[in-house]
Structure 1
């Protein structure tokens, strides 16, 4: 962590580290650091772990307005967060939630100063995915700094095997135990290439082979054991069995 660390920054870092180690929730809405300091904490907590990709959060203008920001947020994806299919245990998580998403695989590097046409060219493939959210903050009630420091509630990530034609348009639908529980239009994700350029600028560039989870047009649903199915554009689907 470069530069001096202030007492509140140190306290938030230790709060996240301790809660993750103990797999317990803690009360949120207590830390109000600048986002830049929260990202320093996020980076520090993932130090020496290769980054396999990133997740975007708060991509819709409505969610951004609720948090008092005008951009998305991001979290880092590490090897141990990429989950094997078709069966996943929920026991490793604290308070997991299901969030269906579109995932893109980068086929080219994207520099921090890339142009829009380079972002378009960098998208190699797209897939259905599930961002299995997990947060230390009780009831997912947190400040902006708290959610960023806790790696944007990143828990685990699943990706379908069948590529989608890009751009992916249409609707995502989430089914739990064969019951339709939520759906949303992919238009709510906004300008994906603009988000990629913003992300590349923020993290110092993106690399070919990295996965980018684009956020969800569907409100996250509390996770529970059972069968989960995501249906997306072009007849795509992703089915996972979750165990307790």
Structure 2
């Protein structure tokens, strides 16, 4: 299958809130490697029209949801200046234009230095400048969220929007225990004041910094897509299950065990 043609199909669907048949249904041989070639072409299309890549999302880091989606490994996709913005608690977020949007509470990391293969988890933690809590809204251009892993990758890693809460700047001493501290945090997610789910930092590949280390290793083997660099934003995967959203709902989180505030947003 032609990577450029698939990238155009994906972008048209995302832009228009439309959907398409999974690419693996058309070609069973369409692989994860093929899909990351689509990632590179999709980035070319988006940058050509003026969008700027600002980081990456890591998806399917939460092993607890693998069976629900039939995807049993992490994936990644690009973030853009058009899909990421800062929010404060109570803000209204516009996501209804996305195909079948779902909300994911995540830990977001800001890179202060370039990352390269072979770095230890501690070295990677020392390269993180800030930490935040955010909501990623994922989308599926494939009806009813039915796909295989290669389809997810081709669909921009399922990324729709990322809304980043207040950023906590890290001192050098805080980075020394960052990996274990983020692993130990707990989160409670509610919809319209009613409990929806709970999770921990350890749900995402044993912790957000560990998830970042996984991505560093994956990109070290990728000849088509760039390594992680200083200034990039990385969102590390949902700490709870992902939930469909509809306009008018209010979603909120409470975090314990780490010095980050919860976040609340109204769906627009």
The answer to whether TM tops 0.5 is yes
2:159 to 136, 154, 158: 154
> Residue 232 of structure 2 aligns with which residue?
210
> Residue 3 of structure 1 aligns with which residue?
none
1:40 to 37, 40, 43: 37
> 8 Å contact 2:131–2:168 — kept in the other structure?
yes
1:179 to 179, 183, 194: 194
1:228 aligned to 2:213?
no
2:265 to 224, 240, 244: 240
Cα distance change of structure 1 residues 122 and 153 upon mapping to structure 2, 3 Å threshold = same
1:107 aligned to 2:105?
no
User: How far apart are 1:82 and its partner, in Å?
Assistant: 0.9
Gaps of 5+ in 2: 220-224
Gaps of 5+ in 1: 1-6
> Residue 222 of structure 2 aligns with which residue?
none
User: What's the TM-score once normalised by structure 2's chain length?
Assistant: 0.78
Spell out the pairing of 1:13-162 with structure 2 (5 A cutoff): 13-28=7-22, 30=25, 31-32=27-28, 33-47=30-44, 48=47, 49-61=51-63, 63=65, 67=70, 71-85=73-87, 86-162=91-167
User: What's the TM-score once normalised by structure 1's chain length?
Assistant: 0.85
Cα RMSD for the two superposed structures: 2.5
Measure the CA separation in 1 of the matches of 2:84 and 2:109: 14
Cα distance change of structure 1 residues 52 and 136 upon mapping to structure 2, 3 Å threshold = same
> 8 Å contact 1:170–1:185 — kept in the other structure?
yes
Q: Which runs of 4+ in 1 moved over 6 A?
A: none
